Structure 1
Amino acid sequence: MITSQYLQSIALVEMAITCAVVLIYLCQKVFSIDIPFVVRLIMVLILGNVLFWPLGMSLELPLVAYVRGVTGELSIVTMLLLWTSVLPSAQKIPIGLKFSVILIALMFYPLALGFGMFDPYAWGYGSIAFLGSVIIFAICCSLAGWTKGVWILSLAVIAWSAQWHESANLWDYLMDPFLVVWAITSIIQSIYKRRQEKAQSGYLFRAG
Structure 2
Amino acid sequence: MMNAYLQIIAVVEMSITCAVLIIYLLQKLFHAELPTPVRIGLLLILGNVFFWPLGLPIELPLAAYVRGVTGELSIVTMLLLWVTLLSPDRKSPFGFKVAIALIAVMFYPLVLGFGMFDPYVWGYGSLPFYASVIVFAIVCGLAGWTQGVWMISLAIVAWSLHWHESANLWDYLLDPFLAIWALYAIAQGIYQKRREKAQSGYLFRAG
Say yes or no: TM over 0.5.
yes
- Give the whole-Å Cα distance in 1 for the aligned partners of 2:24 and 2:72: 20
Letter in 2 for 1:79: M
Matched with 2:60 is: 61
Matched with 2:165 is: 166
RMSD of Structure 2 on Structure 1 (CA): 1.3
Please state whether the residue corresponding to 1:61 is helix, strand or coil. coil
Matched with 2:28 is: 29
Range moving further from structure 2, 106-115 or 119-128: 106-115
Letter in 2 for 1:67: V
Whether 1:131 and 2:130 are equivalent positions in the alignment is: yes
- Give the whole-Å Cα distance in 2 for the aligned partners of 1:89 and 1:64: 24
Matched with 1:151 is: 150
**1:59-208 superposed matches below 5 A:** 59-88=58-87, 90-208=89-207
TM-score normalised to structure 2 length: 0.96
Q: CA deviation at 1:201?
A: 2.3
Letter in 1 for 2:160: S
TM-score normalised to structure 1 length: 0.95
Range moving further from structure 2, 196-205 or 126-135: 196-205
Tell me, which stretches of 5 or more residues in structure 1 are unaligned?
Answer: none
- Give the whole-Å Cα distance in 2 for the aligned partners of 1:189 and 1:102: 13
Q: How many residues align?
A: 207
- Give the whole-Å Cα distance in 1 for the aligned partners of 2:202 and 2:33: 29
Letter in 1 for 2:171: D
> For residues 38-85 of structure 1, what are the alpha-carbon distances to aligned partners after superposition, in whole Å with 9 as ceiling and x for unaligned?
211111111000111111111111111111110000000000000111
Residues 98 and 183 of structure 1 are in contact (CA less than 8 Å); yes or no, is this contact kept in structure 2?
yes
- Give the whole-Å Cα distance in 2 for the aligned partners of 1:42 and 1:118: 48
- Give the whole-Å Cα distance in 2 for the aligned partners of 1:149 and 1:90: 15
Tell me, which stretches of 5 or more residues in structure 2 are unaligned?
Answer: none
Please state whether the residue corresponding to 1:114 is helix, strand or coil. coil
- Give the whole-Å Cα distance in 2 for the aligned partners of 1:76 and 1:194: 30
> For residues 134-156 of structure 1, what are the alpha-carbon distances to aligned partners after superposition, in whole Å with 9 as ceiling and x for unaligned?
00000000111110000000000
Q: Runs of at least 4 residues of structure 1 off by over 3 A?
A: none
> For residues 97-136 of structure 1, what are the alpha-carbon distances to aligned partners after superposition, in whole Å with 9 as ceiling and x for unaligned?
1111111112111111222222111110011111100000
